[in-house]
């Protein structure tokens, strides 16, 4: 027999597709011809496969070897094809029986020494195989835990090509994946750790309940980062579908921790202001790596010292925040990754990073305006809650942490408020108040009585507030009303919303 086929998979964005790796060996000059739109990494596969086969003690066939990856029109990136290519070539020589690979997904990169190395994106590839009725997979040892997350998938792991060859010849066994342990998850930062900052805590709770973006202004040490880090602890845990989706993105980025293969908590990403554009939105050669924006999908993206990010970096965030997806241009076509994030941004009130009113600050109002103006165009417009945090007073630091509300307590209120909002907007393409279009809020059905919105309309009429700002206040008021358990917002909720909207913002 001079023909053999092994099943593998390729990714388009986060969606996996089954690829048939075929090898045909014929008389002729001993060359390897790869077809089926291989990228440059795949050409390097040729050398790795040859060395791995020879170093596993198998003779290299001195024949013309044609390897085809089918379907041809599917773009294939990355190094997961090495192991299937090697096995199909050996199968084609007739020296290796491939009956054990019938209906089995095979993934893995090969080292020159014949070792099987982990690859990125195993979870979404195994999930795609399961959808097509494939119930068995052979993957690198380092990827076994994530592959085993796919319901109904029987996973076996390999550390060397030699072991897979031995397995197919009935001479040795593959490696069982580690047993799925209940997720310990480790301790999470808790809201009870945050001293003082009542407005900041309220802002965080409202942001969590309504899915509102949040901006925190304040001097260093006021607790901006502490608050931002605690937002995920207030958000509902991810449901099964969201959990697999988020984990798949981390799998493609190759950042899954072996100890916690399935991500159940909303992720938190805090890229540094010197981060490159690819680090923020994704990129790189071969299989594109999701950036911080996609790794924060269904979670929190924290931009600390937001004015220090480059204009270019801030601009690249604009479209993804609007669409909930990141589109990466590739040499051939594009890759789209999901990126529905809740943004928290933080900034010092002025470039010298001293508190407002500090005598040593020589920044003119103009300088301060220009500093914060850097974030205003692309980002600040979209942010519902904008708060200035005062410097912490010593008294705050000495209050007993047990007297403060903890994250689980607040998370319960948040969950209840989210349920109320989801039920109200059930017919719309919105899951929380932050996503509801202004036109809906202003419809007769949801319009609030004139005496409730008087102050809001006054600000709009006098030009003190934009139409966009007006809608944001309405959204916040609905969230406050949901948190309080009211039927709809009253004057008090509008007033609090106004304070959250631009409470003491510099
Ligand atoms: Zn200053």
Give the number of C-alpha atoms closer than 13 A to the C-alpha of residue 436, restricted to the C-beta side: 29
| pLDDT for position 184 | 56
Q: How far apart are alpha carbons 302 and 204 in whole angstroms?
A: 13
Cα distances (angstroms) measured from residue 170 to each of 87, 100, 165, 167: 15, 9, 9, 5
230 C-alpha vs ligand 1 centroid, how far in Å?
28
Return the residue matching tokens 């020159």: 112
361 C-alpha vs ligand 1 centroid, how far in Å?
4
363 C-alpha vs ligand 1 centroid, how far in Å?
4
373 C-alpha vs ligand 1 centroid, how far in Å?
15
298 C-alpha vs ligand 1 centroid, how far in Å?
36
What radius of gyration do the chain's Cα atoms show? 28
Closest CA to 391 of 347, 354, 345: 354
Closest CA to 434 of 489, 482, 476, 483: 476
| pLDDT for position 220 | 85
354 C-alpha vs ligand 1 centroid, how far in Å?
6
| H-type alpha helices, 299-442 | 311-323, 365-376, 394-397, 407-424, 438-441
| pLDDT for position 287 | 82
The conformation of residue 357, written as its DSSP 8-state character, comes to T
112 C-alpha vs ligand 1 centroid, how far in Å?
57
Tokens of 367: 């300088």
The conformation of residue 17, written as its DSSP 8-state character, comes to E
* pTM of the entire predicted model: 0.88
499 C-alpha vs ligand 1 centroid, how far in Å?
24
223 C-alpha vs ligand 1 centroid, how far in Å?
19
Closest CA to 178 of 153, 156, 200: 156
The number of beta carbons lying within 10 Å of the beta carbon of residue 377 is 12
Closest CA to 265 of 187, 151, 201: 187
Return the residue matching tokens 């631009």: 502
194 C-alpha vs ligand 1 centroid, how far in Å?
26
355 C-alpha vs ligand 1 centroid, how far in Å?
8
468 C-alpha vs ligand 1 centroid, how far in Å?
30
| H-type alpha helices, 56-157 | 82-93, 122-131, 144-147
297 C-alpha vs ligand 1 centroid, how far in Å?
35
Closest CA to 58 of 158, 161, 157: 161
Q: How far apart are alpha carbons 209 and 482 in whole angstroms?
A: 8
Are the beta carbons of 264 and 237 closer than 8 angstroms? yes
225 C-alpha vs ligand 1 centroid, how far in Å?
20
Q: What is the pLDDT of residues 406-452, one digit of tens each?
A: 999 999 999 999 999 999 998 887 889 998 988 999 899 999 999 99
248 C-alpha vs ligand 1 centroid, how far in Å?
44
Q: How far apart are alpha carbons 379 and 314 in whole angstroms?
A: 7
Are the beta carbons of 365 and 304 closer than 8 angstroms? no
381 C-alpha vs ligand 1 centroid, how far in Å?
24
Does the N-terminal peptide bond of residue 120 adopt cis geometry, omega within 30 degrees of 0? no
| pLDDT for position 333 | 75
53 C-alpha vs ligand 1 centroid, how far in Å?
65
301 C-alpha vs ligand 1 centroid, how far in Å?
27
350 C-alpha vs ligand 1 centroid, how far in Å?
5
367 C-alpha vs ligand 1 centroid, how far in Å?
8
Are the beta carbons of 121 and 129 closer than 8 angstroms? no
What element of type H or E holds 70?
Answer: strand 64-70
272 C-alpha vs ligand 1 centroid, how far in Å?
22
307 C-alpha vs ligand 1 centroid, how far in Å?
14
Tokens of 430: 């919105």
Question: What 3-state DSSP class applies to 503?
Answer: strand
Mean pLDDT, the chain, rounded, equals 89
Are the beta carbons of 475 and 434 closer than 8 angstroms? yes
Q: How far apart are alpha carbons 493 and 481 in whole angstroms?
A: 6
| pLDDT for position 506 | 44
387 C-alpha vs ligand 1 centroid, how far in Å?
18
439 C-alpha vs ligand 1 centroid, how far in Å?
40
218 C-alpha vs ligand 1 centroid, how far in Å?
12
Count how many residues are written for the chain. Answer: 506
88 C-alpha vs ligand 1 centroid, how far in Å?
66
365 C-alpha vs ligand 1 centroid, how far in Å?
9
b (16+ CB within 10 A) / e for 214-231 = bbbbbbeebbbbbbbbbb
Are the beta carbons of 139 and 108 closer than 8 angstroms? yes
349 C-alpha vs ligand 1 centroid, how far in Å?
8
Are the beta carbons of 118 and 145 closer than 8 angstroms? no
404 C-alpha vs ligand 1 centroid, how far in Å?
33
219 C-alpha vs ligand 1 centroid, how far in Å?
10
308 C-alpha vs ligand 1 centroid, how far in Å?
15
255 C-alpha vs ligand 1 centroid, how far in Å?
39
217 C-alpha vs ligand 1 centroid, how far in Å?
13
pLDDT tens-place values along the chain, 506 residues long: 599 999 999 998 899 999 999 999 999 888 888 888 666 767 788 899 999 999 999 999 999 999 999 998 888 888 899 999 999 999 999 999 999 999 999 999 999 999 999 999 999 999 999 999 999 999 999 999 999 989 899 999 999 999 999 999 999 999 998 876 555 566 789 999 888 888 999 999 999 999 999 999 988 888 999 999 999 999 999 998 899 999 999 999 998 876 677 888 999 999 999 999 999 999 887 788 999 999 999 999 999 999 999 988 888 888 888 889 999 987 667 889 999 999 999 998 888 877 666 777 888 888 888 888 888 766 787 889 999 888 877 666 666 666 789 999 999 999 999 999 999 998 887 889 998 988 999 899 999 999 999 989 999 899 888 888 899 999 999 999 999 999 999 999 999 999 998 764 54
300 C-alpha vs ligand 1 centroid, how far in Å?
29
348 C-alpha vs ligand 1 centroid, how far in Å?
9
Are the beta carbons of 103 and 153 closer than 8 angstroms? no
Q: How far apart are alpha carbons 24 and 326 in whole angstroms?
A: 39
Q: Is the sign of the CA dihedral 74, 79, 80, 83 positive or negative? A: positive
């Amino acid at each position: 027999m001079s023909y053999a086929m092994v099943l593998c998979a390729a990714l388009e964005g986060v969606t996996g597709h089954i690829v048939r790796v075929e090898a045909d060996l014929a008389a002729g000059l001993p060359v390897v011809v790869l077809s089926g739109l291989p990228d440059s990494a795949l050409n390097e596969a040729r050398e790795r496969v040859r060395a791995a086969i020879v170093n596993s003690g198998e003779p290299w066939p001195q024949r013309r070897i044609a390897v085809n990856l089918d379907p041809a029109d599917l773009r294939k990136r990355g190094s997961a094809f090495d192991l299937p290519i090697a096995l199909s070539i050996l199968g084609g020589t007739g020296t290796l029986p491939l009956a054990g690979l019938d209906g089995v997904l095979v993934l893995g990169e090969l080292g020159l020494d014949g070792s099987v190395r982990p690859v990125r994106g195993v979870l979404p590839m195994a999930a795609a195989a399961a959808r097509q009725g494939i119930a068995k997979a052979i993957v690198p040892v380092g990827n076994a835990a994530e592959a085993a997350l796919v319901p109904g998938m029987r996973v076996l792991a390999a550390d060397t090509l030699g072991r897979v060859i031995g397995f197919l010849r009935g001479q040795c066994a593959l490696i069982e994946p580690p047993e799925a342990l209940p997720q310990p998850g480790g301790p999470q930062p808790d809201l009870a750790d945050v001293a003082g900052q009542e407005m900041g805590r309220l802002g965080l709770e409202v942001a969590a309940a309504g899915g509102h973006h949040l901006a925190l202004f304040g001097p260093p040490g006021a607790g901006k980062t502490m608050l931002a880090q605690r937002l995920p602890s207030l958000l509902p845990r991810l449901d099964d579908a969201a959990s697999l989706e988020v984990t798949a993105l981390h799998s493609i980025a190759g950042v899954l921790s072996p100890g916690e293969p399935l991500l159940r908590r909303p992720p938190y990403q805090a890229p540094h202001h010197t981060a490159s554009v690819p680090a923020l939105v994704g990129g790189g050669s071969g299989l594109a790596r999701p950036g911080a924006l996609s790794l924060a999908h269904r979670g929190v993206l924290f931009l600390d010292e937001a004015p220090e990010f480059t204009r270019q970096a801030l601009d690249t965030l604009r479209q993804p925040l609007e669409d909930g997806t990141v589109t990466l241009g590739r040499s051939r076509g594009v890759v789209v990754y999901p990126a529905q994030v809740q943004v928290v941004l933080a900034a010092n009130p002025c470039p010298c990073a001293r508190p407002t009113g500090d005598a040593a600050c020589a920044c003119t109002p103009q300088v301060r305006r220009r500093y914060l103006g850097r974030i205003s165009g692309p980002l600040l417009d979209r942010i519902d809650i904008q708060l200035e945090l005062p410097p912490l007073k010593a008294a705050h630091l000495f209050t007993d942490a047990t007297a403060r509300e903890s994250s689980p307590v607040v998370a319960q209120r948040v969950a209840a408020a989210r349920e109320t909002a989801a039920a109200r907007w059930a017919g719309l393409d919105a899951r929380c108040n932050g996503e509801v279009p202004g036109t809906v809020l202003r419809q007769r059905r949801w319009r609030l009585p004139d005496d409730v919105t008087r102050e809001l309309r006054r600000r709009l009429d006098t030009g003190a507030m934009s139409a966009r700002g007006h809608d944001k206040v309405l959204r916040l008021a609905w969230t406050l009303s949901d948190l309080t358990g009211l039927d709809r917002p009253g004057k008090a909720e509008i007033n609090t919303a106004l304070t959250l909207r631009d409470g003491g913002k510099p």
